[in-house]
Structure 1
Amino acid sequence: MILTFGLILSMGYEVLKITSLGSRSLLHIASAIMFMNLNIGIYASYFKKIKRSIIYYLAAAIFIPLLLFLTSSLKAELSLSIIEFAAVCISWLLISPYIGETIKHRVSLIIYLCIVVGNAETDLWQTEKWILIIFDILPVIYYFILLLILIERFITMFQSVVNSSLLDGLTGLYNRKAISTRIKQCVEKGECAIVFTDIDNFKELNDTLGHHAGDAALKTVAEILQEETDDIGFPGRYGGEELIAVIDDKDTISRIEEWAENFRSRVERESNVTLSIGFSIYRYGLTPEKLLEQADLSMYSAKRTGKNKIVEYKDGLDTGSI
């Protein structure tokens, strides 16, 4: 809302400037208000709440010079120039460091200061045409930089929304919905292996060392799984302490037990937990749900027959035998 208002003001300011409908004082006021709204709007696109200090300082930047002007201590144009300069200083100190695009934003502030200087009526600007041309170009550069900042911010926000719908918040792995979609795609392709893993004694770890220790262990295992599936599969968190890898690389599928053992041993060496692992390889006629169920049964078989081991699904391995 603030950003939209700022953009409308900026367009109005440029219309006044081009058509020469407004006095110089009116242009200064419009420029200052436009500048403040745009910069507060940019800040608001990064934070839901605007710091009160920013509002207070901007209010002081407006009212102190105006008060001096009303008491005849300063000339009108000088008062308004102080407002613009103070607004730039406040934006430099209180907005730029916090928006993620500090360098671009500060470059835009410097350009805006140059625009303020260029708006002053002096003989120099009127006699030197090349300087006038530069000052005519500066607003275009200023708005272009602000546009870049906003586009990059909106792209980041869009990516965040997309990632939140696909990724698990704790581990950064793909979530259950994304994993289910990937399994269906692999089954349609005809080349797929599912490796289902469960962290051994995870409840005891949470109960004895606390949930932060459990979360740390889960993140460590997730990082190793992500590294091990790079370019060969799709790592995910299926739920709780259960992680899953959907492997679609033909060469890796042919030696899937070796791959699973390498993953298991890495976790044992590099963390304070062990894994029970089960896997199932796609065979013609299997549905995605059945393939996943087979890997799940294999994992529970590993868990109930000693833990810290790998079990391959074979015909006859069912709930009864587990």
Structure 2
Amino acid sequence: MNLTTTNMIALLPFISSMICCVILAITLLTSIKIMVSYRNKQVFILLISSLITAGLPQLLNLYQVSTQQQIPYLLYIISTMAVIISFILINFVLMKMYAVGIKLRIAPMIMLLLGAAAAFAASFFVAPYEIGAGLAFPILDFYMFILIITMLVVTRQIDMPTSYYYSLLVMFIYQLGLMLDRYVFEWSQAWLHTLVELLPIMYYAILFYLLLDWVMDRLLSTYQSAIIDGLTGLYIRRHFQKKLQSMMQRKPVAVIFCDIDNFKALNDTKGHQVADEALQQVAAILKEEVAPYGVAGRYGGEELLGGIAIDSVKPMAVAEKIRARVELETIVTISVGFSTSKEATELMLLVKQADEAMYFSKTTGKNKVSSYRSLPASIKQKM
């Protein structure tokens, strides 16, 4: 092994700890920022505490490598204990953040912490393993190894993201490599020592990714809830109008207005669940049929809207396809009306015309499609 390689390996602990400290600091600042605006502050207080605890061994390692001084026995054992405590807390917090619909009890975490405390106490009665200028504590290392395996087994029953299991796998390889490096090879294998120094960087980078992924998922959910109707999955009225207004500025459009026939009677006789399912089925059909040409939205109650560009399709064909599918695939029928931007260049008037055409369908037999253009002049004059 040449001198340059030896120097690089000697610098690895310092580089690794420095990078880990930077990642932990960024994750810590991000967590503090989120905590300020998040309701469940206890979770982030716990996360912040775990990140600070995780940073202590890294700072201690930086101090030892940079000063080349012997660290007191007690600091060594506290540093090892800090790794275990931070691992338990971080995993508990991640499960609280990601395990939707599962009530996590604090008792298992307390049991794991008590186990760590017992291993900590036992370490004072067993002489540390001396490796060069450093110390190692077999009981704590073995407990950490069992802890990682326990997490891998237990969390398989919880719906966690794949990257979370990657983090556990990285920690498993790290701890296994660390124990082999310390107790079997005694730092004699350069490749193994290099692996042990680099894996913590990967672990903390995955943790930072998990935090960002959770934040992005919440932001996306918040945005979706602001524009999507929760029951039907269609755009809410305001966002539908915004999207259609944008389409009208570029090409001719049509508004297709759908209303479920006898919906109140269905509600009264079959119940809300059956009526809601019928509404969802109609909404799904509407969304599928207008998707190639435009957007779909919920106007209110059982009234649904489709907005389509008509430069490549006839609105009557789309409206009739929707009506026919609803009759064939659901337990309800719909009355449909449509109007095009040839009849109105202003959005609200266009919707009103389509509504009027739908009303004409409903009052003249239901389960049919009417075009505003084809309505009797007497009806148009009332608008």
Q: Report the TM-score, using the length of structure 2 for normalisation.
A: 0.75
Structure 2 counterpart of 1:174, one-letter code? Y
Tell me what 1:28 maps to.
Answer: 80
For 1:69 and 1:168, locate their aligned partners in 2 and report how far apart those are by CA, in whole Å: 54
2:256 corresponds to 1:205: no
CA distance in 2, matches of 1:125, 1:151: 38
Paired residue secondary structure (2:335): strand
Q: Which residue of 2 aligns with 1:17?
A: 61
2:9 matched residue in structure 1:
none
In the other structure, the counterpart of 1:40 is 92
Q: Is residue 191 of structure 1 aligned with residue 269 of structure 2?
A: no
Cα 1:29–1:206 shift into 2, 3 Å:
same
Partner of residue 245, structure 1:
306
Does structure 1 residue 62 correspond to structure 2 residue 83?
no
2:167 and 2:55 mapped to 1: Cα distance? 17
- Compute the TM-score of the two structures, normalised by the length of structure 1: 0.88
Distance 1:259 1:72, change over 3 A: closer
Unaligned runs of 5+ in 1: none
Please point out which of 83, 98, 114 is paired with 2:158: 98
1:118: Cα distance to partner?
A: 4.5
> Aligned partners of 1:49, 1:279: CA distance in 2, in Å?
43
| Match among 283, 286, 296 for residue 222 of structure 1 | 283
Among 317, 340, 361, the alignment partner of 1:258 is 317
Match of 1:7 in 2: 51
CA contact (8 A) 1:277 1:298 kept: yes
**CA deviation digits over 1:251-302, x for unaligned, max 9?**
12xx211221111111111111111001010037631111111111111111
Secondary structure at the aligned position of 2:366 is classed as: coil
User: Which stretch has the larger CA shift, 190-199 or 123-132?
Assistant: 123-132
1:300-315 alignment, distance < 5 Å: 300-314=359-373
Structure 1 window deviating more from structure 2 (282-291 vs 243-252): it is 282-291
Distance in 2 of aligned mates of 1:209 and 1:294: 32
Aligned position for 2:5: none
**Which segment is superposed worse, 126-135 or 34-43?**
34-43
Q: Which of 295, 299, 306 does residue 234 from structure 1 map onto?
A: 295
**Paired position in structure 1 for 2:346:** 287
1:250 match: secondary structure? coil
**Secondary structure of 1:194's aligned partner:** strand
Secondary structure class of the residue paired with 1:245: strand
8 A Cα contact 2:357 2:371, kept in partner: yes
Write the distance in 1 (CA, Å) between the matches of 2:294 and 2:235: 11
Q: 267-276 vs 151-160, which deviates more? A: 151-160
For 1:109-120, what aligned pairs fall within 5 Å after superposition? 109-120=168-179
Identity %: 30
CA distance in 1, matches of 2:138, 2:151: 20
Instruction: Between 178-187 and 85-94, report the one with greater CA deviation.
Output: 85-94
The residue type paired with residue 108 of structure 2 is Y
Name the aligned partner's letter for residue 100 of structure 1.
M
Offset from partner CA, 1:60-119 (integer Å, 9 cap, x none): 222235346647896373442354235324432444542431x43233223213333454
Tell me, yes or no, if the aligned pair for 1:193 and 1:246 is still in contact at 8 Å.
yes
1:169 aligns with 2:220: no
Matched, 1:137 2:198: yes
State whether residues 85 and 116 of structure 2, in contact with CA within 8 Å, keep that contact through their aligned partners in structure 1.
no
Give the conservation status (yes or no) of the 8 Å contact 1:218–1:241: yes
CA distance in 2, matches of 1:122, 1:211: 67
- Give CA deviations for 1:101-155 in whole Å, capped at 9, x if unaligned: 1x43233223213333454533614211111111111111212222333333322
Displacement of 1:18: 2.7
* CA RMSD, Structure 1 to Structure 2 (Å): 2.7
Range 186-195 or range 213-222, more displaced: 186-195
Aligned equivalents of 1:303, 1:231: Cα separation in 2: 27
Residues 252 and 341, structure 2, Cα contact 8 Å, conserved in 1: yes
Other structure's SS at 1:122 match:
helix
Letter of the structure 1 residue corresponding to residue 62 of structure 2: I
Letter in 1 for 2:96: A
**Structure 2 portions without partners, runs of 5+:** 1-43, 65-70, 129-136
Q: Distance in 1 between matches of 2:49 and 2:115?
A: 24
Q: How many angstroms apart in 2 are the aligned matches of 1:208 and 1:139?
A: 62
| Letter paired with 1:263 | I
